[in-house]
Amino acid sequence: MTKIKFTTLYLISIVAVNFAFTALPMIELPFDQTIPAGTFLVGFIFVIRDYAQKEIGSWIYLAMLAGVLLSYVMADPFVAVASAVAFGLSELIDALVFTYTKKPMRDRILISSAASTPVDSSVFLLMLGFFNLLGFAIMVIVKMIGALIVWKIVK
């Protein structure tokens, strides 16, 4: 189990975040806008995926698929589909950056998160009908804070 600890954490995180988008209330923002409360739980999932890919290589795509299928069964199917499309696109970008960038792991985490989080956030919010610029910005910032914390910690 220790050989796939990040992969296991990755799968649990996918389901937990999708469930949070279904179960947690919307947060009111200024200017009569809202954002899903689950937004604040997403920050580290992209970094966890990077470590999971380091553990299992290109098998990460199977782990992504398993996470999507589990989310579909365990969370709201509408949220799971939006998450799957957004996550699939962003994770493809993330995996490509992670695979083909020859930078150290620490830098790949930051680069891949910067490239993939805006895609994930915009597609997800658009598909759920919650897109607004403030919510989008908050989502990207929250995700990048997670990446920056790990980037700072990993030497």
- Domain 2-153 class in CATH: mainly alpha
Q: What whole-number distance in Å separates Cα of residue 2 and Cα of residue 16?
A: 21
Helices (H), the chain: 5-23, 45-56, 60-74, 77-100, 105-128, 133-153
Predicted TM-score (pTM) of the model is 0.76
* pLDDT tens digits for range 132-147: 898 899 889 988 888 8
pLDDT in tens, 33-46: 788 887 777 777 77
99: tokens are 């695979």
